[in-house]
Structures are given as structure tokens and as C-alpha cells.
Chains A and B, each alone.
Chain A
């Protein structure tokens, strides 16, 4: 292992976050706060308890997932797209680093950022609504697993995208809708049966469900199934990244 390289890339990426601290942290915190104010307090007051918890508390895991997913994807995709765009990626590609080391450092940094951000949002949420975390270790586990999985997806997106539009369109057209339809703000049980079935095709449903289970102990989908699905997504994304590197897809002519 070229640990010096892993460390260099990781710290470089974290330094990039520090430079854009305001944009990286404040923006998601503000938007999440708005969600709490609007959904949790304003509208939530009219909604009865869902699965035994107040609506405000019910949406906490979903909201964290929402920003975890979008931040993971955008952090990781930008991290690899930008050097590709400026062509400074030549250095990475000519360095004595393995594909695994590249992925580990970039995806690791992106995941670190989004996990930290999620914890900040969690802290912010606790200001607005009281909630409990029944399985804190599982909560952290799902947080990290999801961050890694979607950072991986972001990494794929960053390699694939050959312009800024694609880089931004995919999260907008795919990730955000999937997250909103993934049960962030509602329980899948609230949907008509046909839509419940359709929902099961949405990968985000499993992540939100498992994450919410770690808070309140109840889930839309059995936790074991969610865990298996989450690991499956990770495996699929890892396979895609490895294929991209092996073939030099959009990296090496």
C-alpha cells in the first residue's frame, strides 16, 4: 500500500472542504433546518403520529438520509470530475498508486465529509424535535455504509460525466427524486399497495428504512433485507468502478 499517497489525497480533499466550509456545511444545515420548520413544525402539527413517533421525529432519519445521499454523490463526483476537467488528473494517473488506493482515498474523503455533515444535521435536528436513537451503533454503521455506497456512486458519476451539466443533472434527475420517493417524509405503508410494490424497486427505500429502524426500532422493510440490499449496491458500485479503472474508461485513452 502506498499510504503516503492515500494520506495525501485524503488530506487534500479534506482541505478542499475547509476552503469551502461555508458552502459545504452551512448550505445543507440551512436547508435541513427549513425542512424541519416547514414539515416538522408547520405541517407536522396536523399529522398524527407515524409508526408510534411524532411526525417531526419521524422525518429526522429521512432528512439526514436525504442530505447524506446528495452530499455523498456530489462530494465524490466533484472530487474526481474536477481534476479530470482541469486535466490535472494526469498526475494521479501517472503516480504509483493502485486503483484501490485511489478509490479508498477519494471515496473515503467524500464519505467522511458527508458523515460529519450528517452528524451536524443530527445535532441541528435535536434542537427542533426530541427523538431517540435505539441502536446508535447500527445508526453509525448505516450512516457510514450509505455514505460509502453513495460516494462510490458519485465517483462513478464523476468519471462518467464529461461536462458540468451531466455532473449536476444526474443528482437532480435521479438521486433527488429517488430520495424523495424513498420514504424520507412518509412511511411506505401510507402508499396504496401497488405503489408500495413499485417503491421496493427504489434502492433508497431500503436505506431510509434501515436507518429509521436504528432510530425507532420499526421499519418498512425487514432490516436484514435492507442491510443485504445496501451491501449489494455497494458491491455493484465497486464492480463498476473496478471495471472503469481496468478499461481506463474515460480516464485513459
Chain B
């Protein structure tokens, strides 16, 4: 697949000395939906801001469809629409004016028919003459999306598009993103939520503490992230896992006092029953058990702490 955005060894150290991005390299493919997943402060907004020209990179290089974002910023920026994380709008302008303004700003001649359709698609048409300050938060977010799409960009950045957004708008947003993708627009969105990445993305990048720690096809990642684990408190500690149980890929913890079974979220519950039966067959008793779903936080911790274990676990699953 063709690369549309190429980020190489991008670093950003803010004026205070804080390193918000560390040697990030990433290729975004033309026409894909790419989700950038990461906890607060991971550097998602910083990364997007550099590509869009809002933050000056410390080192590294970014090209957009072959255009360097600094040397050839006009060509690069003209292709990009950005929906920022914060709701930032001029208070006194009308919806129609502010969206038309954005189109002009990005160097496009007026095209009222297009803006009209855009506002209708975003359920903003009846608000076209309303002042921005009179709109609700969700409406403002739609306006920001309309502004970003006003100049028919080939690439759309959505920085946490569904933060503080109700279910209906979230569904609308996802539909919109899919429609855009169908017209060949590349969409890069950031999110804290695995579910959102799962719902929308073709590929997912995980960023933590300024480092891109993995980039993967969604399908592969979901298996890894969606996993659950069953923990058994054993009555007597084990030295080693009995060979008879090898096919479960079990693991011992707490010096053999806990037996851990990791399994896929879906469909593998039945395997638990088998496992428990086999345990009693080989005479391993347990006093308690619980299951946990690995939270995003856990995954970040494990990815950062033991990067080597990630591919290994992936191998088990597939």
C-alpha cells in the first residue's frame, strides 16, 4: 500500500525540557483509518500538532504525500483537515461564516453547494445562521469537523473525536469517518479507548510516554489487547506446570502459588471448563479464582516494561 504520511525519527522536547516525543517513526497508508491509542500525556496531540504545523519539531522529518511539512508546507497543509481536541471556536461568528472562512483560509474558492451539503451531513443546516456561542458542546464539535472538511482535505486528523460526546453523535461520527474513507480520505484519529479503535480503525498505533511502542493491524492487535486472564490461587505451590497441561500455555506466578491462564475474550470460555476439569484430574486443587480483563493501562505497562513478551504472546494466540 502507498504511504501518504511518512514520519521519521520525530522528536519533540518542549521548552521546559520535557521530551514529549521520542524518535517516532511511522508511515500512514493512503486511504486507511489509523487509530493512535495512548493514555493521557502520551504525546498523541503533540504528534498530530507537528504534522499539522502547530508545533515545531525538535528533530526528525515528516512528509505528506511527498511534501516536506516545513519546506513545502503549503502543499502539505492544503491536504490536511484537523479537528482539534479542545473545543476552540470564535464565539460571535455564525456557523455558515466560520465554515466558509475555513475553506478560504485553506486556499479554496467558495463553493456554497458543498458547504451546504457538509452542514446537512453534520446535522448543522438548521443552525447555519446561529452564533457559535449559542451552540451546545456537541454542536460545536460538529462545527469543528465541518471546518476541517470545508476545504475537501485528503487527510483528516481527529484528535479525540468522541471525548465528551453522546452516543448518537459518536455513532454519527463513526459513520462519517467510514463515508470519508470510502471516498479515499485517510483518517488519523486519537483515542483512549480500545473499543473506539476496534470500531473504526484499520490499523492501530500505541503510543506511551512519547514513544511509539507498537503499530499493528487492528485484527491482530485486538486479539492481543482483548485477552482475559484467569488466575487460580493454588492450595499447594507448584514447581512446574505438569506436561499434561502444556497446551493451555499456563504460567506460574507468586513463586508457584498462582496459576495464570490467558485466553481470548471470545469463544474460549469453554476452554476454562476443560482446564478446570483437567486440573482436578491431575490433582491440582485451588482455593480461589478470578478472571481479569487486561485494561489498556495494563497493556501499556506490560508493553513498556517487557516489550519482548508482546510478540511472544501474539504468537500463542495466532
Question: CB within 8 Å of B: which residues of A?
Answer: 2, 4-5, 7-9, 12, 15-16, 19, 82-83, 86-88, 90-98, 248, 252-253
Residues of A within 8 Å of B55, CB to CB, are 252-253
Question: Assuming A95-B105, A96-B74, what are 8 further A-B pairs, CB within 8 angstroms?
Answer: A4-B109, A12-B101, A82-B90, A96-B77, A97-B107, A98-B74, A252-B53, A253-B56
Residues of B within 8 Å of A253, CB to CB, are 14-15, 55-56
Q: Say if the beta carbon of B305 comes within 8 Å of chain A.
A: no
Please, what's the 1-or-0 string for B39-65, where 1 marks a CB less than 8 Å from any CB in chain A? 000000000000011111000000000
Q: Say if the beta carbon of B114 comes within 8 Å of chain A.
A: no
Q: Say if the beta carbon of B106 comes within 8 Å of chain A.
A: yes
Residues of A within 8 Å of B54, CB to CB, are 90, 93-94, 252
Q: Is the CB of B105 within 8 A of A86?
A: no
Q: Is the CB of B73 within 8 A of A96?
A: yes
Residues of A within 8 Å of B88, CB to CB, are 86-88, 90
A189 to chain B, nearest CB (A): 48
Please, what's the 1-or-0 string for B69-82, where 1 marks a CB less than 8 Å from any CB in chain A? 00001111110101
Residues of B within 8 Å of A9, CB to CB, are 104-105
- Residue of B54, B86, B103, B109 ringed by the most chain A CB atoms within 10 A: B54
Q: Is the CB of A94 within 8 A of B104?
A: no
Find B104's partner among A5, A87, A252 (CB 8 Å cutoff): A5
For this complex, 21 residue pairs linking A to B, each with C-beta atoms less than 8 Å apart, are: A4-B104, A5-B106, A8-B104, A9-B105, A15-B97, A82-B90, A83-B90, A86-B88, A86-B89, A87-B88, A90-B54, A90-B84, A90-B88, A91-B147, A93-B53, A94-B52, A94-B77, A96-B73, A96-B107, A97-B105, A252-B56
How many angstroms between the C-alpha atoms of A91 and B80 in the bound complex? 11
Q: Say if the beta carbon of B171 comes within 8 Å of chain A.
A: no
Please, what's the 1-or-0 string for B121-159, where 1 marks a CB less than 8 Å from any CB in chain A? 000000000000000000000000001000000000000
Q: Which B residue sits closest to A97, measured CB to CB? A: B105
Q: Is the CB of A2 within 8 A of B107?
A: yes
How many angstroms between the C-alpha atoms of A12 and B100 in the bound complex? 10
Residues of B within 8 Å of A91, CB to CB, are 82, 102, 105, 147
A24 to chain B, nearest CB (A): 14
Query: Interface residues of B, CB < 8 Å — how many?
Result: 35
Residues of A within 8 Å of B14, CB to CB, are 253
Known contacts: A94-B52, A95-B77. The answer to whether A87 contacts B86 by CB under 8 A is yes
B19 to chain A, nearest CB (A): 13
Q: Is the CB of A7 within 8 A of B56?
A: no
Find B108's partner among A4, A86, A248 (CB 8 Å cutoff): A4
How many angstroms between the C-alpha atoms of A90 and B83 in the bound complex? 10
Q: Is the CB of B90 within 8 A of A88?
A: yes
Residues of A within 8 Å of B53, CB to CB, are 93-94, 252
A89 to chain B, nearest CB (A): 8
Q: Say if the beta carbon of B308 comes within 8 Å of chain A.
A: no
Find B89's partner among A16, A88, A252 (CB 8 Å cutoff): A88
How many angstroms between the C-alpha atoms of A91 and B105 in the bound complex? 8
Q: Is the CB of B105 within 8 A of A92?
A: yes
9 closest A-B pairs (Cβ-Cβ)? A8-B104, A87-B88, A96-B77, A96-B74, A94-B52, A96-B78, A2-B107, A95-B105, A4-B104
Residues of chain B from 1 to 50 with CB closer than 8 A to chain A in the complex: 14-15
Residues of B within 8 Å of A83, CB to CB, are 90
Residues of B within 8 Å of A87, CB to CB, are 84, 86, 88
How many angstroms between the C-alpha atoms of A209 and B291 in the bound complex? 85
Residues of A within 8 Å of B92, CB to CB, are 16, 19
